[in-house]
Structure 1
Amino acid sequence: MKSRKDKAVELFKEGFNCSQAVFAAYSDLYGMDKETALKIASSFGAGMGRMREVCGTCSGMFLVAGLESGATEGKDTAGKKQNYDMVQMLAEEFRKRNGTIICRELLGLDQPQVTAAEFKDTAPQERTAQYYEKRPCVKLVEEAAQILESTILKERFTD
């Protein structure tokens, strides 16, 4: 049986964005179908709509955290706090492993020679061998899955 981490990587390599890959690998645990999960997470790839802000793998983890502990009542301040604590813990673990949760920093696009025009291009790049060689995205998808399974989903994934 394929692991959830492998499922996430496979989804990414099929062409889905980083957020979709992480979220859709776990969404069925909450009764959500794959198509709905892919649609929900679609806007968060490449650092939020390819703006290179918060890494899409983190957004995928945060979406799972919402399914795991999100508040469903507007006045549920304890539930909101529980969810925010969970999101901050996931972000901190990702930072420990990678130094940042910001997409452009992870990709090395925070350098002075990178122009603003490069952030305006919303066209996804073709997934080629060179694409995967120059980006840490596959590793980040794997790490996001590992973080989920070693923290908030630990009870579901331990023998």
Structure 2
Amino acid sequence: MTRREAAMANFMKGYNCSQSIVLAFADMLDIDEKSLLKMSSSFGGGMGRLREVCGSVSGMFMVAGLLYGYDGPETGQVKANHYARIQELAHRFEEQHGSIVCRELLGLNVRHDVPVPEARTAEYYKKRPCPEIIGDAAEILDQFIKENEIGE
């Protein structure tokens, strides 16, 4: 199963968009799955259904941070290099989807949605582009990782 397929399957199992991405890359990360799922749980629905940055994009950023991030009070080139990675991932996603903002991707007019998620029914999945968006985010991140082998 590709990471794209795994991320999409995670979403179809009921994980949020951010969790779906992070879980698809869990085998590469030096942190247990339960912690990864808790860490990414706040970012579904564009950050707790605020409909801001897409959760799959946040998931990409979390994985990139765990793979390539810095762990000190960096102010110079180390921080700049990492932020450049994050901007590159965002740019690639935006090239495909026109935005990294959840409400824009879903065509919603609401800025801060109610906190209660919709039931995951067949109708829910029919009207949402989320599985494909999540798959694209996983594919973008997978390609980025291949281009920037860990340990650089």
**TM-score normalised by structure 2 residue count:** 0.91
Does residue 10 (structure 1) correspond to residue 1 (structure 2)? The answer is no
Contact 1:69/1:82, CA 8 A, preserved across alignment? no
Q: Pairwise mapping of residues 10-159 of structure 1 onto structure 2 (< 5 A)?
A: 10-75=9-74, 77-110=76-109, 114=110, 119-154=112-147
Q: Whole-Å Cα distance in 1 between the matches of residues 74 and 87 of structure 2? A: 21
RMSD of aligned Cα (Å): 1.6
Kindly state the Cα deviation for residue 63 of structure 1 after the two structures are TM-superposed: 0.4
More RCO (CA 8 Å, sep 6+): 2
Kindly state the Cα deviation for residue 77 of structure 1 after the two structures are TM-superposed: 2.3
Contact 2:51/2:113, CA 8 A, preserved across alignment? no
Kindly state the Cα deviation for residue 34 of structure 1 after the two structures are TM-superposed: 1.3
- Give the partner amino acid of 1:89: E
Runs of 5+ unmatched residues, structure 2 = none
Q: CA offsets per residue over residues 42-79 of structure 1, 9 Å max, x none?
A: 00110001000000000000001101211111135222
Q: Whole-Å Cα distance in 2 between the matches of residues 99 and 150 of structure 1? A: 19
Q: CA 1:60/1:153 → structure 2, altered by over 3 Å: closer, same or farther?
A: farther
Runs ≥4 residues deviating over 6 A: none
Number of equivalences: 149
Runs of 5+ unmatched residues, structure 1 = none
Matched residue SS, 2:136: helix
Q: CA offsets per residue over residues 129-157 of structure 1, 9 Å max, x none?
A: 1111111100011000110111134466x
Contact 1:22/1:144, CA 8 A, preserved across alignment? yes
